[in-house]
Structure 1
Amino acid sequence: MNQSKYRGQKIAFLTQHGKQEVVAAALEPVLGCEVIHVSGYDTDLLGSFTRDVPRSGTQLDAARRKARKGMELAGLKIGLASEGSFSTDPYTGMMPWNREIMVLIDDELGIEVVGMAQGSTIAGQILTANWDDVEQFVRKLGFPQQQVVMRPQSEKDPRFIKGIGSWEKLGDAFTNLQMEADNRKVFVEPDLRAFASPTRMSHIAHASEDLAQRILSCCPQCAAPGFSVVQRQPGLPCELCGTPTTTYLSETLRCVLCKHEEMRQRQDLQYADPRHCPQCNP
C-alpha cells in the first residue's frame, strides 16, 4: 500500500458546484494531500444538466477536460475532476440511476486513476398550471434540500430558472413563469447540479473514497498507484448444487502505468447465493 506518494502534495480540483468539501474530506486524511479548490471557470460550458450546453464525448472525457483545466488554472501537475451521469439502473432498467466518477491525473508519474460510485437517485418531471400539483411533486423529490429547475410552457423552452431551493423562490418562480407561458403551464424538474442534489453529493463522496483506495493500491511490479480491478470473472459455485453462477469468482487487476496484470481469487465468499444459479433459479 502506498501511503506517501501524495503526502504533502497539492492537487487541483476545479468545481463551481460545491463539491470541494466532500472530496477533500475523503482524500486528504487518507492520502495526506491538499485538495486545492480551483474556481474562475464555468464548468457548465463543458456540459450542463439543464441541457442548454450538451456534453461532448463520454463522461470520462468530460472529467478529463475539467481536470486539465483545473491543473492549468492552478499551475499544478496533478489534478482531480468529478463528472456525473444519469440513466436507468443496470439491473432492471426501471429505476432512476446516478453514476459518479472521480478522476486523478498525475502528469509527474504519467498516470490516470478513476474512482466510481453509483446508485439509485431521484427523478421525475411535471408540466402543470396547478400550484398544488407543483407542491406535491417537489415534496416527493425532497424539496427544499433537493432543489429544482422551472421553465415556462414546456420541457424544451430555453428559458429557465435553476437553483430554486426555498418555498418563497418556488412560489415566485411559478407565478412569474406562468405569466410567460402561453398555455399558463410550468415545467418542473430536479436541479441535478451537485450542491443542489443531496443524493448526488453522497455518490460523489463515495466515488472519492473509491478513488482514494485505488490510489493506495500499488503495482507489485513498478509501485505506481492505481493497481486495481479492471474485470471480474463469473463462476462462483452455487451454495446448494455447486453449479457455476454469474457471481464473480475472480478478479483481474491491472497497473495504470506498466499494464502489469494479476488474477486474484475471491476471498470473501466461497459460495454464491442460489438466487444467482442457473440450475436452482432458472
Structure 2
Amino acid sequence: MQAPIPLYAGAQIALLTRHGKQRVIAPALEDALGCRVRHVDGYDTDLLGTFTREIPRIGTQVEAARKKARIAMELAGLPFGLGSEGAFVPDPFLGMAPWNVEVVVFIDSLRNLEIAGIAQGRGSFRHLLTNEWLALEAFAREVGFPGQQLVVRPHDQHDRRIRKGIRTWPELEAARDWATAAAENGLAFVETDGRAHANPTRMAHIGLAAADLAARIASLCPACGTPGYWQVKRVAGLPCAGCGAPTRETRAWVYGCLKCDQREMRPLSGPAHADPGRCDACNP
C-alpha cells in the first residue's frame, strides 16, 4: 500500500451522515490519507431530500453533497468536510435498467479546494404494485430482501402513507396487509429502500466513490503540490487495429491542477489499438 501523503496525516475530516456511510467512507480515506474521519449526525440529512420522495432534493447531486460537507464542517468546527449523495438514473447503455451514481465531495477550506470522487453501476431501485403475497415474495427475493430493505405504501407511489426500513418477512407481510386494507384500489406499492444503510448496492458504490476520492486527493500537482491533480479532458483518436485510422475511442487523458496552469497528457496504458467495430472508417 502507498504511504499516506503528509498533507492530511492526522487531520480530522467531518462526515455528515445518518445512514451509516461512515462504515465505507472512513476506511477508504483514513488508509490513503492518514487522516481520521469524524462522524457527525447532528443534522437530519433527509431534510435535504429523500429517495422516497416526501422531500424533493433541491439542486444537483454535487450541490447536495457539498451542502452536507459544509454542514458537517460547521457542526464539528473543522476546516475539512465530507458529504455524500446518491442518485438513480436510467442505465447509459439501453436506458432500461436502474443505474446508481454516487458522489463523495471533500472540502478543504484552508486551501479553498473542493474535490469529488464518483462511482457508478447497476443499482437496486425497483418497485411492484400488487396485493398477492406470492408475487410480493418473489419480488422481495429477486431484489435481495431482507439484506435489501423495502418500503411499502397503499395504493400507488404517490401515497404519503408509508412504512420504511422493512427488513423481516413478518414485517413485510404485515405491511402488505396494512397497505392493501388502507388502499382504495386494494393494492400495495412496494419498492426497494434507497437509503444507504438499507441498500447494499448503494453502500458498495459509496465505498468505491470514497476510494476514487482518496486517489484524487492523494494525487498531487507536480508543479505546486496541490491535491486533486486529475483527469480534466479526454483525448480521442485511438488508432483502429484494422485500418489505422483514428477512432472516437480514448487514446489519452489530460491531467490538470485545480490551482495552477499545470497540464499533462497521459496515454492510456491499455490496448494500443481500437477494435475495428468501433471505427467509423471500417464501419461507415
TM class by shorter-chain length?
over 0.9
Matches within 5 A, 1:20-31: 20-31=22-33
1:220: which partner in 2?
Answer: 222
Shift of 1:223: 0.6
Identity, in percent, stands at: 50
Contact kept, 8 Å, 1:11 with 1:35, in 2: the verdict is yes
- Structure 2: segments with no counterpart, 5+ residues: none
Structure 2 Cα separation of the partners of residues 153 and 229 of structure 1:
47
* Aligned counterpart for 1:39 among listed residues 41, 52, 62: 41
- Determine if the alignment matches structure 1 residue 128 to structure 2 residue 139: no
Shift of 1:247: 1.4
1:109: which partner in 2?
Answer: 111
1:234: which partner in 2?
Answer: 236
Structure 1 residues 20-63: Cα deviation after superposition (integer angstroms, max 9, x where no partner): 01111111111100000001111010011000100011000000
Matches within 5 A, 1:80-91: 80-91=82-93
Structure 2 Cα separation of the partners of residues 243 and 93 of structure 1:
30
- Greater CA deviation, 142-151 or 249-258? 249-258
2:187: which partner in 1?
Answer: 185
2:154: which partner in 1?
Answer: 152
Aligned length, in residue pairs: 282
Instruction: Classify the secondary structure of the residue corresponding to 1:223.
Output: coil
Contact kept, 8 Å, 1:110 with 1:257, in 2: the verdict is no
Instruction: Classify the secondary structure of the residue corresponding to 2:64.
Output: helix
* Aligned counterpart for 1:208 among listed residues 196, 207, 210: 210
Structure 2 Cα separation of the partners of residues 154 and 211 of structure 1:
38
1:258: which partner in 2?
Answer: 260
Structure 2 Cα separation of the partners of residues 48 and 107 of structure 1:
28
- Determine if the alignment matches structure 1 residue 97 to structure 2 residue 99: yes
- Structure 1: segments with no counterpart, 5+ residues: none
Letter in 2 for 1:123: F
* Aligned counterpart for 1:52 among listed residues 49, 54, 58: 54
Structure 1 residues 69-116: Cα deviation after superposition (integer angstroms, max 9, x where no partner): 011111101001111111112222222111111110000111001111
Shift of 1:208: 0.5
Structure 2 Cα separation of the partners of residues 35 and 55 of structure 1:
25
Q: Could you say what the CA RMSD is over the residues aligned between the two structures, in angstroms?
A: 1.4
Shift of 1:255: 1.4
Structure 1 Cα separation of the partners of residues 94 and 209 of structure 2:
23
Instruction: Classify the secondary structure of the residue corresponding to 2:220.
Output: coil
Contact kept, 8 Å, 1:80 with 1:103, in 2: the verdict is yes
- Greater CA deviation, 206-215 or 235-244? 235-244
Structure 1 270/134 Cα, relative in aligned 2: closer, same or farther at 3 Å? Answer: same
Structure 2 Cα separation of the partners of residues 151 and 44 of structure 1:
18
Structure 1 Cα separation of the partners of residues 124 and 243 of structure 2:
39
Instruction: Classify the secondary structure of the residue corresponding to 1:5.
Output: helix
